[in-house]
């Protein structure tokens, strides 16, 4: 895959994650540079469902833009840079605040897989609380020290839960990362619903490991990606990407039909 194709795929992944309910107005997904592990790509500050390849910014691992310094930037980009620094194996990072996770994050309830697709998040992934190390803040991860602290909490896991804030997921590539983000959100939503009924049945450690191991060796990721691409294509066919920023044209009201005299 060429760099141009990789950047197009990253932009598409952002729109997919928005369409699948992972990202809303906030949140972002990035990609390590395929040819230079000391660089990564992340969109300019933008609504995730409007990200394009032309709006991507190339960063070094200190989260400093290599060029295009004048473009607006995400304040939490250090999440990506510090994780890429700490985890050479990670090729993509997604940070989100999906509503499906908010009940868990607000109550401190652990994420557990209750079906085989949810195994991609692991059993009881680690927690991180910005307040523990940095006291009262505006809740955004904006300094290298804060990003490095989050990366330490993530450790060798695939996902870290950020108390009262959001979730950060990592993957072997962009499609893998998007897949893990979507499937863990769906599992979290089902988990919260199941807990409202009663005790839940959780996958065993062995089941979780084996279910996660086949993620990259079956057609599951590809099938899911193709389906999600189709969903984005259908949406964009109805509502072009630039529709939100286009000025609305004033329309004349249709004339009222004349009432017949009886």
Among 9, 76, 145, 189, which one carries the catalytic annotation? 76
Q: Known catalytic residue: 189?
A: no
Which DSSP string do the residues of the chain spell out, in sequence order?
Answer: --HHHHHHHHHHHHHHHHHTTS-SSS-EEEEE-SS-TTEEEEE-S--GGG--GGGEEEEETTS-BSS-TTS---TTTHHHHHHHHH-TT--EEEEE--TTTHHHHHHTPPP--SSGGGGGG-SS--EE-HHHHH-S--S---SHHHHHHHHHHHTTSSEEEETTTEEEEEESSHHHHHHHHHHHHHHHHHHHHHHTTS------HHHHHHHHHTTTTSSHHHHHHHHHHHHHHHHHHHS-TTTTTSPPPP-PPPPPPPPPP-
Q: Which positions are catalytic?
A: 76
């Amino acid at each position: 895959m060429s760099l141009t194709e990789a950047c197009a795929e990253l932009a598409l992944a952002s729109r997919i994650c928005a369409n699948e309910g992972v990202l809303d107005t906030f949140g972002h997904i990035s990609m390590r540079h395929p040819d230079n592990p000391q660089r990564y790509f992340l969109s300019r500050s933008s609504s995730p469902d409007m990200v394009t390849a032309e709006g991507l910014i190339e960063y070094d691992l200190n989260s400093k833009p290599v060029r295009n310094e004048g473009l607006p930037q995400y304040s939490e980009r250090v999440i990506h840079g510090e994780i890429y620094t700490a985890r050479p194996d990670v090729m993509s990072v997604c940070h989100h605040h999906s509503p499906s996770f908010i009940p868990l994050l607000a109550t401190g309830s652990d994420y557990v897989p209750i079906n085989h697709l949810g195994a991609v998040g692991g059993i009881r992934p680690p927690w991180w609380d910005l307040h523990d190390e940095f006291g009262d803040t505006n809740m955004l991860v904006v300094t290298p020290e804060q990003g490095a602290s989050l990366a330490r909490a993530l450790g060798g896991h695939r996902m870290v839960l950020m108390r009262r804030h959001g979730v950060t997921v990592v993957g072997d590539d962009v499609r893998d990362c998007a897949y893990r983000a979507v499937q863990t959100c769906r599992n979290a939503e089902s988990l919260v619903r199941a807990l409202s009924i009663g005790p839940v049945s959780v996958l065993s450690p062995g089941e979780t490991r084996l279910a996660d191991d086949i993620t990259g060796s079956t057609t599951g990721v590809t099938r899911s990606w193709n389906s999600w691409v189709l969903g984005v294509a259908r949406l964009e066919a109805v509502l072009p990407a630039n529709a939100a920023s286009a000025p609305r044209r004033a329309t004349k009201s249709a004339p009222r039909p004349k009432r017949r005299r009886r």
